[in-house]
Chain A
Amino acid sequence: MKELLVERSVARFAAARAASALVGSGNGIGVGPLRLAERDPLALPGPDWHRVRPILSGICGSDLATVDGASSRYFEPIVSFPFVLGHEVVGIVDGGPLDGVRVVLEPVLGCEARGIEPRCPACSSGRKGACERIAYGHLKPGLQTGYCADTGGGWSESLVAHGSQLHPVPEELSDDAAVMVEPTACAVHAALLGAVVPGERVVVLGSGTLGLATIAALRHLTLPAELLAVAKHPVQRELAAALGADHVVKPDELERAVRRLTGSLALPREGSLERLTGGADVVFDCVGSSSSIASSLAVVRPGGRVVLVGMPGTVRVDLAPLWQREITLVGAYAYGCEMTPDGLRSTFDVAFELVAAARLERLVSARYPLERYEEAVRHAASAGRRGAVKVVFDLHRAEKASWRTARAADTVSQNAAPESTPPKRTPRVTESSKLSEPRKITKQVEAHE
């Protein structure tokens, strides 16, 4: 079984960190801890565990940080080596009672997957992302599939997953759409965590996958008066507008645009805007860098909220504005369940609906076979600049990579074979796969059978 394995090697992590710092993100790939390996499939850790053959597996910003050796050391106790990256996964269950069912993976490894009873308070209330036991139970430490030595990850030909992690994919949903469900769930969680009150002015900083999905989530799930998105690259700007941003600006236009939007005054310095006196009600930082956090604090109003959606590392930020303006800074990690007008719902359920409603499959821009992982990672690291958004591994494809611009993602494959549209798969789950219904796959399939 082929897989992209990350092994504990201080030297390789350091080399990746140096390379990416010197040459840019994605360049840790050649010298870093990631390698293509051939191993036997992992054993199933227990009952209600299933083997899943990934179809598509996305490359996420947190994966890139790992490859570049740029992740925070905070994560060290909650991962276990060697691990296989990849937590944005659509795959097919291989064997067992669910054999052949097409599923999306909910990667968080909470109490249920770890066989921990009684469950921690967070898991008991459905907030899996906040699980307090991610380093305990019968699995090795790992906050998610993709960072746990016992489960494998999506950048492979096979992984193992607990039944509670699997969501059946409705027949009408393409693989491209399905692979977008996990990042969309993150966006849904963040958008709702922002608690946008109708009529508030909202800024989304960053228009990569997470930023674009957050824009879609805010547009579908909340009622902001105006939504301003910050996008660096032309394709990102087009998609941000298409997904519901009222205004799309470049990073260096942010402060002026927010000032205009909110009618704020400003404190000038030599004619330039030093900082705003007011600002947006809520800012979603979908980048997570020092400068994006500083920008978020600069354009949020006193008493406003900054939701940290993008994964930060060690950053250096002046927190004086946070203090003086009484800004609430809140992290938004993963998912679990959300309070919606229809009551408490699984974040993934909401995400499935949002992916379909906002046609988020259009964000999938490029597919690579596992063997060409170095190219894939470099492409993902420079996605915006190269007119792409989401780069994925295609685990069922021949070695030739295919990719298309996000702009033309609905129809055209630039490079590739006409069969770039994935073949339709018919899951064994039928009636029970309606989007609005729960996706506890074990019971559903049992019922069907």
Chain B
Amino acid sequence: MSPRPGFVLEVDRSTPPTLFWHGEGFRLERLPVGSRVIYPPEPVAPLADPEAAIRQALEHPVGDSAPLSALLHPGSKLTIAFDDISLPLPPMRPPDVRQRVIEAVLDTAAAAGVDDVVLIAALALHRRMTDDELRHALGSRVFDAFAPHGLLLQHDAEDPSGLVHLGMTEQGEDVEINRRAAESDVLVYVNINLVAMDGGHKSVATGLASYKSIRHHHNVRTMQHSRSFMDRHNSELHTSNWRMGQLIAKAGVKIFQIETTLNLDTFPSQFGFLQKREWEWSLKDRAAFHTTRAALDRTPPAMARQIFQSIRSPHALTSVQAGEVEAVHDLTLANVHRQQLVEVQGQADILTMGLPYISPYNVNSILNPILVACLGLGYFFNLYRGKPLVREGGVCIMSHPTPWAFNPVHHPSYIDFFEQVLAETTDPIEIEAKFEESFATDPWYIHLYRTSYAYHGVHPFYMWYWCAHALQHLGQVIIVGGDRAAVRRLGFKPASTLADALEMAEDVVGRDPTITHVHNPPLFISDVR
């Protein structure tokens, strides 16, 4: 039986309460009659033989590319770059798809007699991965073969000797990327396309680039002109990356792109209720939900965080394509859309969403208030094609505890951004003009980024810019159940309950508003007509 597509429910009197994610917990909320709830599609069937599919992709590339085996020769210099800890979410059960793909690439390289091989985690400005995280992503066989010999590297966007400036695009954008990657005979990039934003030229042009290069597209203007950044053809973020990618190709960097897509089988069976529609919950699902919620109510937040962060997703591979970047990415997008696209008619006055415990930037960490804003207004708000789910001037209501808490190792500049920058202004344009450079060039943040496990000093700015389109579009943002001081610092309104939030929203959008709730994760894209 083929999986059911996404579904838009209209709430009536018989509709059971709707599950909202609420950080490391859940809330059951009764939405007003007439509200719409958008459910994700069911997981599509995975590839029956992932290893065979990967080998097939490597030997039958798409676009203007020879098979990988034909590109590699004895004496070739091969670099394999791969997506970092930010993908997929939650981290997947072993074997990770990167492990499967990289093992196949290494087998091909070995067969071709290539012995100059280096692996690079494409961090961009993200934190370095720990050995355990690398081992999880790559598998022990790969990790043990490369790490002890210094052949498993992590991209350092602040290492002048490790970067090479390839030129400027016609728009005046610096293209500066990892030297080893640029100077290799073949650069294989191994991608996980969890959402439509990932992959394409963005993989190398962002993942292996320097701040000097990334700043050209990670800025307020670009984000405000990306409608949305999940829709590559209407995304200034991607247009800029595509210009850079084309320059990289012209500069002679031979990229062999491998992109993979996953299905929406996001949570393990004990959290099966998270992937079902509430009226279809079995007795077992109801018992699991109530037991989980009761247990979480008695669990200290730090322990609850640890429990959730230990979740390993059963995500399964649904496609793999390799070859020339743009041809590969077109296929990838079709596969992402096949799994994630849900057609929705029209916009609502109010958009509600429950925010989970995890985002790309807090794996094994805390979803601090800036990341809460980014997850809601950056990622979930932008998971649309066509137009936003909420009308211009509408209200977005998010549910999350939003604790005033930070991981000082991972997010040191976030703390200063929250304490200093947001205390002064929440306007992305003003923030960018007044503060970005000093954070981006702060030697202490650079030191921590390069030697510890810290996100780059500029990273919280990007998280705020990620919200820029939503902040420009919305009339108000309300967070239900959040730390009131933290919510206010973000420039949002705190509310104790959803009912309170809806009442507050009426002051902005008027009485009897239309309401749409996005029931994710699992993640999906609303195709709003």
Residue A11 interfacial (CB < 8 Å)? no
Cβ-defined contact, A271 with B407, below 8 A: yes
Cβ-defined contact, A271 with B412, below 8 A: yes
Q: A250, A259, A260, A266 — which one has the most chain B CB atoms within 10 A of its CB? A: A260
Known contacts A247-B420, A256-B419; is-contact A263 B452 (Cβ 8 Å):
no
Cβ-defined contact, A260 with B408, below 8 A: no
Cβ-defined contact, A260 with B447, below 8 A: no
Residue A272 interfacial (CB < 8 Å)? yes
Cβ-defined contact, A249 with B408, below 8 A: no
On chain A, which size bracket covers the interface? 10 to 19
Residue A444 interfacial (CB < 8 Å)? no
Residue A118 interfacial (CB < 8 Å)? no
Cβ-defined contact, B408 with A263, below 8 A: no
Report the separation of the CA atoms of residues A266 and B443 in the bound assembly, to the nearest whole angstrom: 10
Known contacts A271-B409, A271-B412; is-contact A257 B419 (Cβ 8 Å):
yes
Residue A431 interfacial (CB < 8 Å)? no
Residue A339 interfacial (CB < 8 Å)? no
Report the separation of the CA atoms of residues A271 and B413 in the bound assembly, to the nearest whole angstrom: 12
Interface residue SS majority, chain B: helix
Q: Which of A249, A265, A270, A272 sits near B419, CB closer than 8 Å?
A: A249
Contacts of B409 in A (CB 8 A): 270-271
Residues of B within 8 A of A (CB-CB), count: 15
Report the separation of the CA atoms of residues A266 and B452 in the bound assembly, to the nearest whole angstrom: 13
Contacts of B442 in A (CB 8 A): 260, 263
Interface residue SS majority, chain A: mixed
Contacts of A268 in B (CB 8 A): 448, 452
- Closest B residue to A257 by CB, please name it: B420
Cβ-defined contact, B408 with A271, below 8 A: yes
Residue B444 interfacial (CB < 8 Å)? yes
Residue A264 interfacial (CB < 8 Å)? yes
Q: Which of B407, B408, B444, B452 sits near A259, CB closer than 8 Å?
A: B444
Cβ-defined contact, A256 with B416, below 8 A: yes
Cβ-defined contact, B443 with A249, below 8 A: no
Contacts of A253 in B (CB 8 A): 419-420
Cβ-defined contact, B415 with A256, below 8 A: yes
Contacts of A249 in B (CB 8 A): 419-420
Contacts of B412 in A (CB 8 A): 271
Q: B407, B420, B442, B444 — which one has the most chain A CB atoms within 10 A of its CB? A: B444
Report the separation of the CA atoms of residues A18 and B447 in the bound assembly, to the nearest whole angstrom: 48
Contacts of B407 in A (CB 8 A): 271
Cβ-defined contact, A265 with B444, below 8 A: yes
Of residues 419 through 458 on chain B, the ones whose CB sits less than 8 Å from some CB of chain A are: 419-420, 438, 442-444, 447-448, 452
- Closest A residue to B451 by CB, please name it: A268
- Closest A residue to B419 by CB, please name it: A253
- Closest A residue to B441 by CB, please name it: A263
A290 CB to nearest B CB, Å: 24
Report the separation of the CA atoms of residues A109 and B76 in the bound assembly, to the nearest whole angstrom: 89
Report the separation of the CA atoms of residues A271 and B407 in the bound assembly, to the nearest whole angstrom: 8
Report the separation of the CA atoms of residues A131 and B412 in the bound assembly, to the nearest whole angstrom: 50
Known contacts A271-B409, A272-B408; is-contact A260 B420 (Cβ 8 Å):
yes
- Closest A residue to B410 by CB, please name it: A271
Of residues 242 through 269 on chain A, the ones whose CB sits less than 8 Å from some CB of chain B are: 247, 249-250, 253, 256-257, 259-260, 263-266, 268
Report the separation of the CA atoms of residues A401 and B444 in the bound assembly, to the nearest whole angstrom: 52
- Closest B residue to A269 by CB, please name it: B408
Report the separation of the CA atoms of residues A249 and B419 in the bound assembly, to the nearest whole angstrom: 8
Of residues 370 through 418 on chain B, the ones whose CB sits less than 8 Å from some CB of chain A are: 407-409, 412, 415-416
Report the separation of the CA atoms of residues A272 and B420 in the bound assembly, to the nearest whole angstrom: 17
Q: A250, A256, A271, A272 — which one has the most chain B CB atoms within 10 A of its CB? A: A271
Cβ-defined contact, A265 with B415, below 8 A: no
Contacts of B416 in A (CB 8 A): 256-257, 260
Q: Which of A250, A265, A271 sits near B447, CB closer than 8 Å?
A: A265
Q: A249, A256, A259, A264 — which one has the most chain B CB atoms within 10 A of its CB? A: A256
- Closest B residue to A264 by CB, please name it: B444
Report the separation of the CA atoms of residues A260 and B435 in the bound assembly, to the nearest whole angstrom: 11
B487 CB to nearest A CB, Å: 17
Contacts of B444 in A (CB 8 A): 259, 263-266
Excluding A257-B419, A271-B412, 8 further A-B contacts by CB distance (< 8 Å) are A249-B420, A253-B419, A256-B415, A260-B438, A263-B442, A266-B444, A271-B407, A271-B409
A→B interface (CB under 8 Å): 247, 249-250, 253, 256-257, 259-260, 263-266, 268, 270-272
The 9 closest A-B pairs by CB, nearest first: A271-B409, A271-B408, A253-B419, A265-B444, A272-B408, A260-B416, A256-B416, A266-B444, A265-B443
20 contacts between A and B (CB under 8 A): A249-B419, A249-B420, A253-B419, A253-B420, A256-B415, A256-B416, A256-B420, A257-B416, A257-B420, A260-B420, A260-B438, A260-B442, A263-B443, A265-B443, A265-B444, A266-B444, A270-B409, A271-B407, A271-B408, A271-B409
